[in-house]
Structure 1
Amino acid sequence: MITLKNVTKKYQGRLVVNNFSLTLESGRIIGLLGSNGSGKSTTLKMIAGLVQPTSGSILINNEKLSRRSCRDIAYLSEHDTLYPFFTVIQIVQFYASQFKDFSIDKAIEILQFLNVNPSDKVKHLSKGSKGRVKIALTLARKAPFLLMDEPLSGLDPMVRESILKGLISFLDIENQTLIISTHEVNEVEFILDSVILIKNGNLIDFIDVDTLREREGKSVLEWMKQNFTNC
């Protein structure tokens, strides 16, 4: 379980995340939605322990977030974080040396599913292939919390659905929680259990997708557009 208590983040006096209070239960796939600059990436970085809140606190399984929390969190950045001079398999081996919960066998299985050649050099990969490698590296960990910041960025729209279905199949949903930030709302909706909507650093709503459909009879995208128009 991840708990945010009155979490606020400012950069040089500019408010980026404004007084977030949330409890994210285990065994869920949670969409973190909002426009560019809304605070999605900053929120994920704070949960991952990469950025410190200006005020408030973050708890992982009722323990205050600390350096030790990295053992429970796998984080996929929206930025290119792969060493270009490595081959893909060398990147896999490097991750295995850094994280005790990393499975080389699972990483290779996922790479095969995603049609990535482990012997290819990272510097020769397309943006989409690099994105697939990052997905494989994240899913190959047994960490209870997986954070993915725009994992579909750069991927061919024709293959996104199959990649998302693969993501579900490789996720241990009974023991892992996935929080995914994305602009591709229509494409990810079918895998989401609940959604968090933020705008200009403010929490607009946090709701189960099934409850949303039953209460308002809307898709997540329709609900999101309505809230952005009204707030």
Structure 2
Amino acid sequence: MSTPILSVENVTKRYGTKKALDNITFSVNQPGIIGLIGANGSGKSTLLKLIAGLLKTSTGTVQLIGNNVSRKTTKHCAYLSEDDDLYPFYTVKDTLLFYEKVFPDFERSKSENILNDINVSMEEKIGHLSKGNRARVKIALALGRKVPCLLLDEPLSGLDPIVREDIIKAFAKYADLEKQLIILSTHEVEEIEPLLDQVLFIKDGSILYFNEVEQLREERGQSVIDFMREVLK
């Protein structure tokens, strides 16, 4: 039996007396795109940070490629934060060169191709870019990482429809879905649903449903967005 790409076993995460995640267990054996869906405060960001090795579990284990996650997990996993964490004084080109130095798996040419496709200037300073273009740069950086696992925390949040469309097209064209597991948290379910292989619904720190999107449609006769409206009321 092959080692799962991701294994989350009996994981609880507490912040003081509050449980952000409550004894959750699931595993992922195949590459593809998983939609991580839930209301604000449901535990989505906490789960992504635990997988990325940025937080420690209160109890339970998280493993990537058979290894317990830690700060060294960046070798196997790229994490795109909802926060804007790029250096404003760098140009876009400087930012790509910086990533190339920090991450040995970073394919600069791939990120350059993505940015060329979506018309972002390499000479513009990050601090001078619009919110939409900063989001485009972040996606290009994330997709440039040649890692088994890619974690994206609300990459479409607060963006106008044209920017969201550019980002979704970049996923469709450049994500290596035969080799990468991509977990994407989003509220923009209707737009991203055509790309999803699996869906994981989370509510109040617990998993409500985790399965393949096609299985959801066959079992319940519902789209992901319809199921979301039903269970996340």
- How does the TM-score come out when normalised to structure 1? 0.96
- Match of residue 91 from structure 1: 95
Q: Is the 8 A contact 1:128 1:153 kept in 2?
A: no
1:45 aligns with 2:24: no
Offset of residue 162 of structure 1: 4.0
- Match of residue 17 from structure 2: 13
Offset of residue 161 of structure 1: 3.0
Q: Is the 8 A contact 2:136 2:163 kept in 1?
A: no
The count of corresponding residues between Structure 1 and Structure 2 is: 229
- Match of residue 211 from structure 2: 207
After superposition, the C-alpha distances for 1:63-113 in whole angstroms (9 at most, x for unaligned) are 211333210101100000101111111011101100000011111111111
- How does the TM-score come out when normalised to structure 2? 0.95
Offset of residue 202 of structure 1: 1.3
Distance 1:161 1:82 in 2: 22
Q: Aligned-residue CA RMSD in angstroms?
A: 1.1
Offset of residue 147 of structure 1: 0.4
Q: Is the 8 A contact 1:7 1:18 kept in 2?
A: yes
Q: Is the 8 A contact 2:39 2:232 kept in 1?
A: no
- Match of residue 197 from structure 2: 193
Distance 1:225 1:179 in 2: 21
Distance 1:85 1:105 in 2: 22
Offset of residue 158 of structure 1: 3.1
Which aligned pairs between 1:71-82 and structure 2 lie closer than 5 A?
A: 71-82=75-86
1:54 aligns with 2:61: no
Which aligned pairs between 1:11-160 and structure 2 lie closer than 5 A?
A: 11-160=15-164
Identity of aligned residues (%): 47
Offset of residue 25 of structure 1: 2.3
The runs of 5 or more residues in structure 1 that have no matched partner are none
Distance 1:154 1:114 in 2: 18
Offset of residue 215 of structure 1: 1.1
Which aligned pairs between 1:160-175 and structure 2 lie closer than 5 A?
A: 160-175=164-179
Q: Give 3-state SS (helix, strand or coil) of 2:182's partner.
A: strand
After superposition, the C-alpha distances for 1:136-161 in whole angstroms (9 at most, x for unaligned) are 00000101100000111232213423
Match of 1:218 among 216, 219, 222: 222
Distance 2:162 2:112 in 1: 23
Offset of residue 166 of structure 1: 2.1
Q: For residue 210 of structure 2, what is the amino acid of its counterpart?
A: F
Moved more, 24-33 or 133-142: 24-33
